[in-house]
């Protein structure tokens, strides 16, 4: 028992430096962890419009789709959706076909102009997910706001939904 405690005492300092989540994209917006190990992919201090413009350049050059995920770190559905996208099952589909950008909406009082820019006129939930093709057009305006209960949506449905835009 003592040798396990000794081993654990040597390993603990290194555990904090490990990251359980890899980068989702090529911008400044990368998933982070707060001290309570809560997955927090929404960059609360980011320049969303600049990051969107970078994403648009990348998807145009690489002939991929963009996934703009408007959400918040306080929202369990937003965090759950992001964690699903980071899961092993989704990695290959996303890596080969999508670039993802997580955009913070604060307490639904931040970056709302960008949600409106992409066509949502009325209420929206978190997350709101836009699929953008390589020329910058929104492909899913009719379902972009339907992810507000993403935590309870089946992963098979999420996978098939994202796959449907690339077939």
Q: What is the pTM of this model?
A: 0.77
How confident is residue 40, by pLDDT bands cut at 50, 70 and 90?
Answer: confident
> 64 near 134, Cβ under 8 Å?
yes
> 124 near 145, Cβ under 8 Å?
yes
How many Cα atoms are found within 13 Å in the side-chain-facing hemisphere of 4?
A: 1
Model confidence at 46: pLDDT above 90: no
Rounded Cα–Cα distance for residues 33 and 56 (Å): 27
Structural domains of the chain ordered from first start:
21-164 (3.40.30.10)
Q: Which residue has the tokens 């092993």?
A: 88
Model confidence at 48: pLDDT above 90: yes
Rounded Cα–Cα distance for residues 87 and 106 (Å): 25
Mean of the pLDDT values across residues 62-70?
A: 96
pLDDT for res 13: 40
Phi then psi dihedrals of residue 61, to 5 deg: -70, -35
pLDDT for res 15: 35
Distance from chain centroid for Cα 68: 8
Query: Among candidates 137, 144, 152, 2, which has minimal Cα distance to 70?
Result: 144
DSSP secondary structure letters along 104-122: E-TTTTSSHHHHHHTT--S
Rounded Cα–Cα distance for residues 2 and 161 (Å): 51
Model confidence at 58: pLDDT above 50: yes
């Amino acid at each position: 028992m003592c040798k396990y405690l000794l081993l654990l005492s040597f390993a603990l300092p290194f555990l904090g430096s490990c990251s359980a989540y890899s980068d989702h994209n090529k911008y400044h917006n990368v998933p982070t962890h707060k001290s309570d190990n809560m997955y927090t992919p929404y960059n609360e201090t980011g320049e969303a419009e600049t990051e969107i413009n970078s994403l648009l350049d990348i998807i145009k050059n690489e002939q991929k789709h963009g996934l703009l995920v408007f959400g918040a770190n306080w929202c369990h559905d937003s965090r759950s959706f992001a964690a699903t996208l980071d899961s092993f099952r989704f990695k290959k589909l996303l890596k080969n076909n999508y670039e993802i950008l997580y955009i913070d909406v604060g307490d639904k009082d931040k970056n709302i102009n960008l949600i409106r820019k992409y066509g949502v006129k009325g209420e929206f939930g978190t997350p709101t997910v836009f699929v953008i093709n390589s020329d910058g057009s929104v492909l899913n305006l009719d379902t972009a706001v339907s992810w507000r209960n993403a935590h309870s949506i089946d992963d098979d449905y999420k996978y098939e939904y994202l796959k449907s835009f690339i077939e």
